Structure 1
Amino acid sequence: MSKIVALVYLSLDGVMENPAWTGPYFDEEHGAYQRERLFASDALLLGRETYEGFVKAWPGMTDEDGFADRMNSMPKHVVSTTLETTEWNATLAKGGDDLAQEVAALKERYERDVLVYGSGALIRSLVAEGLVDELKLWIHPVVVGEGKRLFPEGTGMSQWTPAGTRTFSSGALILDYRPSGA
């Protein structure tokens, strides 16, 4: 059975929207970590907005280490109440009241991680339903000042247990959490 692992780029002030501000921190060390996470996963679970951004960018990409091939070939599951069709090896998951059942089915279907990139609204829904097994917050040493936050004001409380950290030479770090009691 797989785990749902959410990997989120965040600024020091908690912004996750339009993470172009991560660019100056991305180097070989960051690339190796991204490759490690992607190759440890059997599928992607994406929200509509992240999916639409990825499907515009990834299908034409290539690289020497196989990251683009892996990203393009692996199964993707897109949670959306508005999309009618998908492409890029993606299957539509309607979400809503059936989200917990659909995620449970994904966890049974795959052996290794199901990786969630970005997808703030989806992650908030998954957290609220207790469906995230691991939350990896990739904190970048920058204050963005404005933009969507992973957990905006009014988000219900949930408790998490630290499960590890990783520090990069760029000053970015990953805080790894699991739901308390898990």
Structure 2
Amino acid sequence: MSKVVVVMYVSMDGVVEGPSWTSSFWNAEHAKYQHGQLIASRALLLGRVTYEEFVASWPMRDESDAFTARMNRIPKYVATTTLDKAEWNSVILEGDVVEQVALLKSEPGEDLLVYGSVTLVDHLVANGLVDELKLFVHPVVVGTGRRLFCDGAVGTTWTLAGTAAFSSGAVVLDYRPAKAP
């Protein structure tokens, strides 16, 4: 059985939208961490907005870099109600996203990795399909923008399973759903 692992860039004030504010914190430590996450995964699971942002840039990058080569070759599943077709080694999830992701999770293999895709993540969390939530917190206050969980999000409790700290001041907080008492 596969796990759904979310890696989400977040500011100190909870903003996840348009993470261009992360670039000044990127360094070799971040690259190594992200490479490890990608290598440990069998596929990407993306929402439409993140997919469209990624497909507009990743396929044009130099594949002599191992991360880029892996990013371009890994299978991708796109949750969307507006796209009819997908490129870049991608498949559109047909029908109910919750059912489709549950089916993907039931297959053997490595993780299903979610980058960004905040609307999808909100939906997956509300339906109990996220196994790990890795918040990549950056030491910046953005001020405005979309937050990780929308107003009215289903209340859930998480357990801190691990942390990683980087010389840039960013940290990863690795959460797992808390088990009911």
Whether these two folds match at TM > 0.5 is yes
Aligned length: 180
1:169 to 139, 163, 167: 167
Aligned to 1:141: 139
CA distance in 2, matches of 1:110, 1:41: 12
Q: CA deviation at 1:73?
A: 0.5
Structure 1 residue 154, shift from structure 2 partner: 2.2
Secondary structure, counterpart of 2:56 in structure 1: helix
**In 2, distance between residues paired with 1:50 and 1:6?**
13
Q: Which runs of 5+ in 1 are unaligned?
A: none
Report deviation, 1:110.
4.4
Q: CA deviation at 1:63?
A: 4.7
Give the distance between the partners of 1:172 and 1:91, measured in 2 at CA. 33
Matches within 5 A, 1:23-172: 23-94=23-94, 98-172=96-170
Give me the whole-angstrom Cα distance separating, in 1, the residues matched to 2:84 and 2:15: 29
CA distance in 2 between counterparts of 1:46 and 1:110 reads: 20
**5+ residue gaps, structure 2:** none
**4+ runs deviating over 6 angstroms:** none
Residues 122-181 of structure 1: CA deviation (Å, up to 9, x unaligned) = 000000000000000000000000001111332221111111011111000000001111
In 1, distance between residues paired with 2:51 and 2:63? 20
Residues of 2 paired with 1:77 and 1:168: CA distance? 30
Instruction: State the superposition RMSD in angstroms.
Output: 1.2
Instruction: Please give the per-residue CA displacement for 1:43-95, whole angstroms capped at 9, x wherever unaligned.
Output: 00000000000000000112544111100001000000111110000000145
The Cα of 1:25 is off from its aligned counterpart by: 0.4
Partner of 1:2: 2
How many angstroms apart in 2 are the aligned matches of 1:146 and 1:166?
26
CA contact (8 A) 1:42 1:110 kept: no
Contact 2:122 2:150 in 1 (8 A): no
- Name the aligned partner's letter for residue 167 of structure 2: S
The 2-side partners of 1:155 and 1:69 are apart by 36
Give, in angstroms, the shift of residue 111 of structure 1.
Answer: 0.5
Q: Percent identity?
A: 54
Superposition TM-score, scaled by structure 2 size: 0.96
